[in-house]
A and B are shown apart, each in its own frame.
Chain A
């Protein structure tokens, strides 16, 4: 079906189950890779998605005309990126979207069998363009402890092995993204070994390792499962081998995990207001009812906690598009207003030698801003910071 470009024939009759079977067949017989992305959006943004797609298509810079059509079942769509110029005989790129809604968020499971480069050119470009649509965050610590998640979901007897795909090693001067192969390439080892290796490195050399992409092999003889796939800290899954239909048993809890992360990342400031009068004129009386903060206590083994936080947030962080205004430093604690230029939201970050707090500076702080700050803290201050 996927060979019949530009649009799969009979997509109107296509369902999620049919897609999963098809993907399994393609992966097994044609040795193709299946890509699965978890996208998050707000219900309001999702409702106006057709309009956003039109805006995106109408842009001069945009290489694609994008259409979204409903398939045979509810909340299941095909999204087609058709090239505007057909001179190079470029083919359309399409994605199947399964939509899951709740009152706060819309989760989009995006499936594709196109190459990573094509997906990057289409989907990534669109997500960068659309406000209020982003790749779900799971973070480096989740990748590192993925075996614990798998055994919780599939049972203790499941065997999980992993290897690095890419890791980010933070140098003293500039962070750099690099491929790290402390182990022979593609050699899969238990995650416990990788954790131990990272821990020793941190204790001996003070170097913090964060993982952006890891490759896993999951085997369960009892349940007849065998998967090889890789996952990024932004929850992009590249499925290499196995039964994709069975993989859904792992995908569903993963969605719950990303949803749980959203509750953690969303920080609000709730204020109520009532009207009153003085000298016959109406005035507003406000009350700050609730401020949702995040608190992290310094672990015993962490060294230079306070200095590292000051070092990190005293100046701007251009690579993460964070602009910082230091409000108090050193006496008696550190307070900084962090503005996320990418997502138009800001937080107050305060630190003492014992703890760190993140408090919303606006009525709400977007999930992506907090995810960014946590990623930075993990990589630069304390590897155990997570949710």
Chain B
């Protein structure tokens, strides 16, 4: 789990409805749930992703909703704050504040009126981000909040304080002004793919899940075939485009051919009849240790060996954005 993902998961764990067995003594999380916040995992579709890419933005780390207050929250997590990140954050904010993004949100969440951006970072970085917002005088029509997370390792809890902005939700604002929020560490990977994850980690995660599919006393002929729909059904947190999912699966099969074979046309995996689980486990652990460069060179080496596989340059995608969006006035 990367430090960026840890932040994402902290927000996630505050809105997840985790219920324990009745005799369990504590309710572990869900502090933001009491304020009416819930998590929404949404695909944006190729067109929106293309638009984001063109504007130098990426999909939000998380989306929360508060249906009572008719609020949509875009959560951005920053685990570090370098010069490069400053630029990226500015572009993200610019895009999330844009009329285009608001229109997209209105289309997806028809019953929500207001948009708010929460930027979450570790202690001492929040002030820097707040400074950036003030310094750049980003005049956003969208309400912006900066939160800081402080880890209290001895008490195994995370404390969250607001360092910038005023929440549209009065109750939450009051709570943040007074004492902030606290939660226990997250207990699971919230999403299969965090948008900032590198391919090595993506492949490792998908591999673990496919591994859980195939690990069984025996698998029937029917169970040997895993479609992308099967995968999404079993893992509701798999929020990614079909293209992305297929790409990850293809890389996985290249790196660990013992799992089975992957059909690019149908997007199906046909699991091996008698998969050598020990060998697959060892290879997955190896991927866990590899750097992104190692993964790339390994994929390249395998492609060379196979002969036929070449990395194709992506052709510019034809979109129908003009039809949907008003022309950008700048």
Which residues of A from 212 to 252 have beta carbons under 8 Å from B? none
Q: Which residue of B lies closest to A273 (CB)?
A: B236
Q: Mark out the residues of chain A between 315 and 351 whose CB falls within 8 Å of any chain B CB in the assembled complex.
A: 316, 323, 325, 327-328, 331-333, 335, 337, 339-346, 348, 350
| CB interface residues, A 341-387, toward B, < 8 Å | 341-346, 348, 350, 352-355, 357, 359, 361-363, 387
CB closest residue in chain B, given A354 = B156
CB within 8 Å of A: which B217-241 residues: 217-219, 233-237, 239
Chain B, 14-34, contact with A by CB distance < 8 Å: what is the 0/1 string? 001111110111101000000
Would A290 and B19 be within 8 Å (CB), given that A335-B1, A335-B187, A357-B28 are in contact? Answer: yes
A-side contacts of B56, CB under 8 Å: none
Kindly supply a per-residue 1/0 record for chain A positions 305-317, scoring 1 wherever the CB is within 8 Å of any chain B CB and 0 otherwise: 0000000000010
A279 engages B41 (CB within 8 Å): no
Which chain B positions have C-beta within 8 A of A357? 28, 187
Range class of the A interface residue count? 35 or more
**Would A286 and B1 count as touching, CB distance under 8 A?**
no
| Inter-chain contacts of A353 with B (CB < 8 A) | 156
Question: Is A276 touching B107 in the complex (CB atoms < 8 A)?
Answer: yes
Q: Do the beta carbons of A291 and B17 come within 8 Å of each other?
A: yes
Taking a contact as CB atoms under 8 Å apart, the answer to whether B185 and A350 are in contact is: yes
Q: Which residues of chain B have C-beta atoms less than 8 A from A346's C-beta?
A: 208, 212
Task: Please state if A276 and B21 are interface contacts (CB–CB under 8 Å).
Answer: no
The count of residues in chain B whose C-beta lies closer than 8 Å to any C-beta of chain A is: 60
How far does the Cβ of B104 sit from chain A's closest Cβ, in whole Å?
A: 6
Taking a contact as CB atoms closer than 8 A, the residue among B40, B110, B236, B324 that contacts A269 in the complex is B236
A294, B39: Cβ atoms under 8 Å? no
A325 touches B288 (CB 8 A): yes
Task: Pick the contact of B324: A271, A279, A291, A327 (CB < 8 A).
Answer: A279
Interface pair A277/B107, CB less than 8 Å apart: yes
Whether A279 and B48, one on each chain, are in contact in the complex, defined by CB atoms closer than 8 angstroms, is yes
Chain A residues, CB < 8 A from B54: none
Are A341 and B215 in contact, with the CB atoms below 8 A?
yes
CB A327 to nearest CB in B, in angstroms, measures: 5
Cβ contact within 8 Å between A290 and B216: no
Contact B104 A278 (CB under 8 A): yes
Q: Is B44 a contact partner of A285 (Cβ separation < 8 A)?
A: no
* Contact, CB under 8 Å: A295 / B26: yes
Contact B234 A295 (CB under 8 A): no
Complexed CA–CA distance, A232 and B218 (Å): 26
Assess the A264–B21 pair: CB atoms within 8 A. Answer: yes
Give A residues with C-beta under 8 Å from B. Answer: 128-129, 131, 264, 269, 271, 273, 276-281, 283-297, 316, 323, 325, 327-328, 331-333, 335, 337, 339-346, 348, 350, 352-355, 357, 359, 361-363, 387
14 contacts between A and B (CB under 8 A): A276-B109, A279-B45, A279-B48, A286-B40, A286-B236, A286-B239, A287-B38, A289-B17, A293-B24, A295-B25, A335-B187, A342-B217, A362-B234, A387-B21
With A292-B20, A325-B208 known, 20 other A-B pairs at CB within 8 A are A277-B107, A278-B48, A280-B324, A283-B45, A284-B43, A285-B108, A286-B40, A288-B17, A293-B28, A294-B20, A295-B20, A295-B26, A316-B281, A325-B284, A331-B153, A343-B216, A348-B187, A357-B28, A357-B187, A359-B188
